Amino acid sequence: MEWLVWGGATISLLGLVGLVWSIIKVAKARKAGLSDEDLRVAVQKVMPLNLGSLFLSVIGLMLVILGIFLA
């Protein structure tokens, strides 16, 4: 079950990269000095990336725990 642990860790790491990317995109939008409405639109565009990345991280961590449990 070692492959399950390493696969889960890889998936979780991809999710973490996506979360950092979404944080960077929102920070750039805030620094751009956009109006409230434009900033809201920018954050709404990043939201699917954020939620998808969070989902990947959770699934990856679940796979790691499952791999450790089954080993």
2-28 pLDDT, tens digit per residue, is 999 999 999 999 999 999 999 999 999
pTM of the model: 0.86
33 has pLDDT over 90: no
One-letter amino acid at 39 equals L
Write out the residue range of the structural domain in which residue 13 sits. 2-70
Q: Are 45 and 36 in contact (CB under 8 A)?
A: no
Among candidate residues 19, 17, 1, 11, the one with its CA nearest the CA of residue 61? 11
Q: How far apart (Å, rounded) are the C-alpha atoms in residues 12 and 70?
A: 19
Domain count, the chain: 1
